[in-house]
Chains A and B, each alone.
Chain A
Amino acid sequence: MIQTSPHAEAAQTRTLDERSLYLRRLVLGAVRSAGRGHVGPALSLIEIVRVLYDDILRIDPKNPGDPERDRAILSKGHGCLALYALLADRGFFPLSELDGFCGPNSILGGHPEYGMVPGVEASTGALGHGLSIGVGLALAARMRGRAYRTFVLLGDGEINEGSVWEAAMGAAKHGLDNLVALIDYNKLQSYGPTDYVLPLEPLADKWRSFGFVVEELNGHDVGALRGALGKIPATLGRPTAIICHTVKGKGLPVAESNADWHHKNKLTEPELDAIRVAVGDF
């Protein structure tokens, strides 16, 4: 049977390129060092964060406070290892910081903190906060006549929170076409499938009915992400929601769509071997 939906494509994406594998090695290396970390939520995000930071965001790691920079908020703060990997790789802070993840003197906690981590725009971790902050940033850009765009990365479990939908109404009210909500739709939250915990479907229709321009794509397809994110604002006067169909734990077969890998403590030798097979030596 031929399946062509973004969801099916995400599941069927078997080959990740060397950069995607490298970023996964950074994430998993930090988990190995710390003996803990949200693995699944970070691995589903890698391509989304990668395309944002490699290709889309107008940012300068040497000048992270530039008023004209694009803003990105990782509202699903527990996916921070993906963000840390990109920020380190792009030079916001040394790669060696990743080894100290969650350590007593590290700048890198289990959720990202503004003021602690260069390049992090807002402290997140409590879910359902980022889109409202993003509305404020995007509205400020409009009021100040600034050209920067605001991108907010949300988890699918996160959008259980009612505050997300309050923010969605606010974004539509103000016609914030400089605001993009990216939903990491990996279909699996902490307890289990999103369909079981609190069904989200019809998700695209929900965002559309809240006034957003909606695009759905395979969130592991770097080309598709570049295409969608390269045309913001998508429609003048309307905010954009990009539903990124992803696989939790993507790229690590033992972790893929496996709720046990939502958060992982000390990795065992067999698990470390499985990681080496999947992403290479790390």
Chain B
Amino acid sequence: MRNTAMNMVHKLAARDERVLYIGSDPGAGTLRAMSKEFPSRHLIEGISEAHIIGMSAGLAMEGYVPYVNTIATFLTRRCYEQVAVDLCLHNLPVRLIANGGGLVYAPLGPTHQAIEDIAIMRALPNMTVVCPADADETTRLMEQTLDWPGPIYIRLAKGGDAIVSKAEHGFKIGKAILMRAPGEVLMVTTGIMLQRALAAADLLASQGISAGILHMHTVKPLDIEAVLAAIRGVGLLVSLEEHVPTGGLGSAIAEGLIDRLGHGLPAMLRLSLPDAFMHNYGSQDSLMKKHDLAPAGIAASIQRAVAASGVSTPQLHSTQAR
């Protein structure tokens, strides 16, 4: 996914002279081919994220479309005021390509795990937040970034993630994709939770629970219309995210539902990481499993919620996983 995103920056740069790559101190050889073909538009600016965001704002004011790239935590926590003021307040077309969203850097510990990035980025006016599920979807997303009017936060996963997105579904920023028709349950995913949801849906099917999947690659602006359309006749709405429970996809959906429905909210289960820093290392997968975000854990949580509610129609209460 990361290589795909980088290669797409190179391709877009070949197509459009406004495109710049700006890295802080990326891995050796990042976009080497681009650095040779377009040396003046391949900028490595040092471990100075606050400065890089401001500089990108200045370049965007002059008509460039900078693609800024470093590790997700440093693009969000480190330079939050610059992102808020320089990019969002000025509403400039800077693209933040965040390596290792979620638990990708599990072995490196909590300083490198971007588990609240969606919340803090989506809190900012004018910001768009997109979490592609795989490399193919990343390609389709990147194609749309050239002329999107404001800043975009792009949360990349590990790379090598199973390809589950489909070309025939197309891709439009802000437009959710219905991956499986809703059943008793509707799961709404973002990023690489789509792969887990697909596997969990199979497990649930084997247990006689039909579960649909709506892939919400864009968390902001949120396609709440797609959620409203998909929950008709659904007994349990489930949000799935590799993120703390505060302010992410589940929160966004709940906010959207309250704003649109006011009353008669569907039963909802928010599956996420806990409200905690991760002190275990291992791998992205091992941490996901520990926090019941692997397919078996997801299926079990949903099964319990369905059994507890005993419903097959929308209910007037909501539940939370933990």
Contacts and interface: CB of A to CB of B under 8 A. Distances in A.
Interface in B43-83: 45-46, 48, 50-64, 81-82
B40 interface: yes
Contacts of A143: 40-41, 64
A167 B86 CA distance: 14
Interface residues on B, range: 20 to 34
A167 B40 CA distance: 19
Q: Which of A114, A138, A167, A169 gathers the greatest number of chain B CB atoms within 10 Å?
A: A167
Given A140-B64, A162-B50, A166-B51, A134 B82 contact: no
A167 B51 contact: yes
Interface string A111-134: 000110000011101101111111
Given A163-B51, A169-B48, A136 B62 contact: yes
Nearest to B58: A136
B17 to A, nearest CB: 10
Interface residues of A, number: 30
Nearest to B44: A173
Given A122-B90, A144-B62, 20 more contacts: A122-B58, A126-B85, A129-B82, A129-B85, A132-B52, A132-B58, A133-B57, A136-B54, A136-B56, A136-B58, A136-B60, A139-B59, A140-B58, A140-B62, A143-B40, A143-B64, A162-B50, A166-B51, A167-B51, A170-B46
B55 A132 contact: yes
A1 to B, nearest CB: 43
Interface string A160-188: 00110011011001000000000000000
Nearest to A128: B50
Contacts, number: 96
Contacts of A166: 46, 48, 50-51
Given A132-B55, A137-B62, A140-B64, A170 B82 contact: no
A135 B58 contact: yes
Contacts of B82: 129, 132, 163
Given A136-B59, A137-B62, A129 B89 contact: no
A169 B46 contact: yes
Nearest to B90: A114
A275 to B, nearest CB: 33
A163 B89 contact: no
Contacts of B63: 140
Nearest to B81: A126
B316 to A, nearest CB: 42
A138 B53 CA distance: 15
